[in-house]
Amino acid sequence: MSPLGAPCNAPPWGELIAVDLSSGEIKWKSILGTTEELVGFDETPTNEARDKIMSDLLKMIPSLLDAELVQHTACLRPLSDDGLPIVGKVPGWQNLYLGTGAGRKGILWSTGMCHGLTELILNGATDVPGFAALDPARFGQA
Ligand SMILES: Cc1cc2nc3c(=O)[nH]c(=O)nc-3n(C[C@H](O)[C@H](O)[C@H](O)COP(=O)(O)OP(=O)(O)OC[C@H]3O[C@@H](n4cnc5c(N)ncnc54)[C@H](O)[C@@H]3O)c2cc1C
């Protein structure tokens, strides 16, 4: 539960880590496979990101030194201004609902977001804890 009462915390940004779940100890901390930059709506891959990914990859698997890079993409991970997903009815509209803005955790959070959203649409309320903190109305009228 986030300090705002939301059922999730804003996604961490900037690096990927592996944590030992029994001790909480960070086992490795690296950017590997992807990078993350807060650059707005920009889908241009950069040479810096490619070089960082490749050098980290070669540290883990040196035998890939002569491997050929066949594709390099940049993708968006949409985030809201407060870092929390936007899930619920759009104020001022009838029957318009949003379930978006989960940044790098949209797959992880998808079942909770969809469960709460389905209940909101069918029943007008949900018992998913803290769901009110994700309400689009927190940004004002559309
Ligand atoms: C590189 C990368 C790594 C990620 N890793 C993780 C991870 O490890 N764990 C995790 O939980 N999340 C991860 N995410 C985030 C996750 O992928 C997203 O949060 C999630 O996919 C969002 O789901 P969505 O259904 O809202 O949107 P999307 O998955 O973007 O689906 C939207 C769909 O709508 C379609 N569409 C768009 N416009 C139109 C239109 N006009 N008409 C018809 N169809 C349209 C698109 O083609 C797309 O299929 C990652 C994202 C990226 C980019």
Rounded-to-integer distance, Cα 85 and Cα 79, Å: 7
Rounded-to-integer distance, Cα 38 and Cα 11, Å: 13
Tokens read off for 116: 């709460």
Convert 74-136 into a string of H (helix), E (strand) and C (coil).
CCCCCECCCCCCEEEECCCCCCCEEEECEHHHCCCCHHHHHHHHHHHHHHCCCCCCCHHHHCH
Residue nearest atom 18 in ligand 1 by C-alpha distance = 106
- Res. 115 pLDDT band, cuts 50 70 90: very high
Which residue, 77, 118, 110, is CA-closest to 7?
Answer: 110
**Residue 43: pLDDT above 70?**
yes
Is ligand 1 within 6 A of the CB of residue 34? yes
Is ligand 1 within 6 A of the CB of residue 12? no
Other beta carbons within 10 angstroms of residue 23's beta carbon come to 8
CA of 47 to the centre of ligand 1 (A): 24
Is ligand 1 within 6 A of the CB of residue 53? no
Per residue in 50-108, pLDDT (tens digit) is 898 888 888 878 888 888 888 888 999 999 999 899 999 999 999 999 999 999 889 99
CA of 125 to the centre of ligand 1 (A): 26
